[in-house]
Amino acid sequence: MLRIITDFDGPIMDVSERYYRVYHFCLDQVQYPGQSLHRLTKAEFWQLKRSQVPEREIGKQSGLDEPQAKEFALLRRHTVHTLPYLIYDKPLPGAIDALERMTELGFELVTMTMRRTRELNAALDQYNLGRFFHIDRRYCLDNDHAKTSDIEDKTWLMGTALAALPPIAQTWMIGDTEADILAAKAHEIPVIAVLSGIRNRDRLQPHQPDWIVANLSEAVDIVIQQSVVTIP
């Protein structure tokens, strides 16, 4: 048996539209009357996010002064995970096909995300994705969980999952950020990084995932190839 632990945002969901709308909302909130701003295109904005450029810097590149950029970053952090914006998320092209393929292959699917329970459920319901993840195969943060950092939280969540889940021959992790890679490595699980999320290759490479591929579908191909090699 083979278990795939997949991150949710990045391998499965495209959050770029949500983040971009929140970007405009926050600019609107901090803009001085009559101030002209340089609003980034969605492509420009997303490229900065994937390069891990800090929010304050994105604010400054959009024409904000230092105090505005600080406020912009704070407001953005409080807004980006709220339900009114979550509706802008949508499954990445090919992601549902990849989930269906894994299900047909008999892989056990687990999702592991820094979303809170209500945020995860909103997306599972909106796109009927709950069918892929049994209720006790969904690892997320409680609604009242006090977040520390994604790396610490994800490594902790991975430990919780591995302690609770029944033993299985092989476990794989798929994710789109350094938090996914480091959590998997801390627990000695092979990890495939995907480029369909919020990090580019330059940001992922230094963390040395076992593979870097374009998307969830290519990650499934890797798992299949490697399993053929290791399971006679």
Interface residues with Mg ion (CB under 5 A) are: 7, 9-10, 176
* 24 vs 40: CA distance, rounded Å: 9
| Burial of 83 per CB tally in 10 Å (0-12, 13-18, 19+) | exposed
- Give the whole-angstrom CA distance, residue 5 versus residue 109: 6
What's the CA gap between 225 and 78, in Å, rounded?
Answer: 42
> Following CA atoms 195, 198, 204, 207 in sequence, which dihedral angle do they give, to the nearest 10 degrees?
-130
Q: Which is nearer to Mg ion, 59 or 197 (CB)?
A: 197
In the complex with Mg ion, the residue whose CB is nearer, 176 or 178, is 176
* Of the candidates 77, 79, 67, the residue with the CA atom closest to the CA atom of residue 32: 67
Instruction: Give the sign of the dihedral formed by CA 54, CA 207, CA 103, CA 117.
Output: negative
In the bound state with Mg ion, the residue whose beta carbon lies nearer, of 55 and 176, is 176
Comparing CB distances to Mg ion, the nearer of 7 and 55 is 7
Q: Which residue's C-beta sits nearest to Mg ion? A: 10
Smallest distance, Å, CB 189 to Mg ion?
16
Q: Nearest distance from residue 39's CB to Mg ion, in Å?
A: 25
- Min CB(176)–Mg ion separation in Å: 4
Query: Distance between CA atoms of 103 and 109, rounded to whole angstroms?
Result: 8
Closest of 74, 40, 71 to residue 58, by C-alpha = 40
Nearest distance, CB of residue 70 and Mg ion, angstroms = 26
Pick the closer one to Mg ion by CB: 30 or 102. 102
Q: Measured from the CB of residue 91, what is the shortest distance to Mg ion in angstroms?
A: 14
